[in-house]
A and B are shown apart, each in its own frame.
Chain A
Amino acid sequence: MILPYLLRLVCLCLAAFFLFNFAAGLPLALASRAIVARANRMRARSAARLLFVLRVLPAALAFLVVVGLCVPSYLWLEPELAVEEIAAPWIATAVLGAALCFIATARAARSILQARRHARSCERLSRATSFAGARLPVWILDTPAPLCALVGIFRSGVLLSGAVINRLTAAQLALALRHEEAHDSSRDNLKRLLILMTPGLLPGVSGFRAMERGWGRLSEWAADDEAAGGDTHRSLTLAAALVRVARMGGTALAPLSANFLDDCGDVTARVDRLLHPTPPLIHRHNWTLIGSLAAVFAVAVSLLNPVSLAACHATIERLIH
């Protein structure tokens, strides 16, 4: 097929993104159950961070390769001919890449729209209030549903239902709020959105479901640990709050939010953990983040040189013709 210069670049970017995302993601997807099992034995916060980084890593690397290598090498070395022929398999790969990006973008956009619609209706129906010691704004919704959730991605607040306020004691409610604040401190709603925006392995095949579920569970555990702060009495109060909310029945889940009781099936594991709380970490080095940034920096430095750009261009030329 004969395509003009810029269309060829788009085609090249999509195909390269698909191939690199697949190549980097396949080993992780195959090992995801083992990784989650290993993460379950780590400290909850570090484990949640690790799973999040591994989930977005293939797409981030693929994006980096496309932006840092494919685009510069193409613009620098490809002569601006009006038209050039491209092999059909390359076009097919680009279509797969486009489908992958489209599905992820559509999924994220739909969630954002649902979250905005939900936030607007809550704003209309709820009343803002402040709780002693609470860092975030709290909106109270008069509903019998057991609602306690951190909503909002950049400007967060806690959405509480009147039923939860009536059912929990003051100490339990304060810890439930601290739990949601812990989610806010670790930017869990933003991470949730980034996970939605990150493409899977193939169109319609995520390959990372176990990792995503593992991240969801571990981020809840981490918020529990931070709310309890290693204090056994606080930990038991939080456990009692979880059981009380679980007794209220199915949780009304808000879109793109961190819910106090996200998955009723996990309440047993959470309570069991809270019966024997782990002491908080004294020295908190964010090794996962430092390691990821170092890896990204190393890849970026190694990519941005004439030799690798020329090699990349030669490879692409061989592949697309």
Chain B
Amino acid sequence: MKLFIDTQVLGPLELTVMEIMWAHGENNVRDVVDKLHRPLAYTTVMTTLDRLFKKGMLERRKSERAFIYSPTMTRTQWEHKRTGDFVDGFLSVAEPSRELLVSCLVEAVSRHDEALLDELERKIKQRREELSRGDRP
């Protein structure tokens, strides 16, 4: 039976496992263990995959004696759903919270934009310095 999709926050190991699943598609427990950058027990990975299946992030089918897992959605779909769930949760409460959400979002976007423009200015300055060093005899 397909479980309901619950895109609650993922733990660090769950996220690492999901990154592997998004990058490689279908995997069994052994494949995931091999692709992890740090040594982890087979049973730990098996439990994590089972938890992700129960959260609706993965689906599985039986092949011979092992389960083959695959992601139920792409990373972009997951991020979209996560953001959507967060905004929906915020908007489901009283009116002032909506205004707060919008003002927080605007502030966050402005801060992000400023930081981005600072970064671009830094890149231009750095490139100018590289050029002036190259121009010098």
Partner-B contacts on A (CB < 8 A): 232-233, 236, 239-240, 243, 246-247, 264, 267-268, 271-272, 275
Question: Which residues of A have CB within 8 Å of B117?
Answer: 243, 246-247, 267
> How far, in angstroms, from A243 to B128 measured CA to CA in the complex?
15
Question: Which residues of B have CB within 8 Å of A271?
Answer: 120, 123-124
**Which single residue of chain B is at the shortest CB-CB distance from A235?**
B127
> How far, in angstroms, from A239 to B131 measured CA to CA in the complex?
15
Contact B120 A268 (CB under 8 A): yes
Question: In chain B, residues 113-129, which have Cβ atoms closer than 8 Å to a Cβ of chain A?
Answer: 113, 116-117, 120-121, 123-124, 127-128
Q: Which of A233, A240, A264, A268 contacts B131 (CB 8 A)?
A: A233
Q: Which of A236, A247, A264 contacts B124 (CB 8 A)?
A: A236
> How far, in angstroms, from A246 to B114 measured CA to CA in the complex?
9
Classify the interface of chain B: helix, strand, loop or mixed: helix
Question: Which residues of A have CB within 8 Å of B121?
Answer: 240, 243
Total A-B pairs, Cβ < 8 A: 30
**Which single residue of chain B is at the shortest CB-CB distance from A242?**
B120
> How far, in angstroms, from A240 to B126 measured CA to CA in the complex?
12
Q: Which of B120, B128, B131 contacts A267 (CB 8 A)?
A: B120
**Which single residue of chain A is at the shortest CB-CB distance from B110?**
A249
Can you report 28 A-B residue pairs in the complex whose CB atoms are below 8 A from each other? A232-B127, A232-B131, A233-B131, A236-B124, A236-B127, A236-B128, A236-B131, A239-B120, A239-B124, A240-B121, A240-B124, A243-B120, A243-B121, A243-B124, A246-B113, A246-B117, A247-B117, A264-B113, A267-B117, A267-B120, A268-B116, A268-B120, A271-B123, A271-B124, A272-B123, A275-B123, A275-B124, A275-B127
> How far, in angstroms, from A267 to B120 measured CA to CA in the complex?
9
| B136 vs chain A, min Cβ distance (A) | 14
Q: Which 9 A-B pairs have the closest CB atoms?
A: A271-B120, A275-B127, A243-B120, A239-B124, A240-B124, A243-B121, A243-B117, A236-B124, A247-B117
| A20 vs chain B, min Cβ distance (A) | 36
| A33 vs chain B, min Cβ distance (A) | 14
> How far, in angstroms, from A236 to B124 measured CA to CA in the complex?
6
> How far, in angstroms, from A236 to B113 measured CA to CA in the complex?
20
Question: Which residues of B have CB within 8 Å of A268?
Answer: 116, 120
> How far, in angstroms, from A267 to B117 measured CA to CA in the complex?
9
Looking at B120, B121, B127, B131, the one whose CB has the most chain A CB atoms below 10 A away is B120
> How far, in angstroms, from A264 to B120 measured CA to CA in the complex?
13
Question: Which residues of A have CB within 8 Å of B124?
Answer: 236, 239-240, 243, 271, 275
Q: Could you mark each residue 24-67 of chain B with 1 if its beta carbon is under 8 Å from any beta carbon of chain A, else 0?
A: 00000000000000000000000000000000000000000000
| A81 vs chain B, min Cβ distance (A) | 59
Question: Which residues of A have CB within 8 Å of B131?
Answer: 232-233, 236
Question: Which residues of B have CB within 8 Å of A233?
Answer: 131
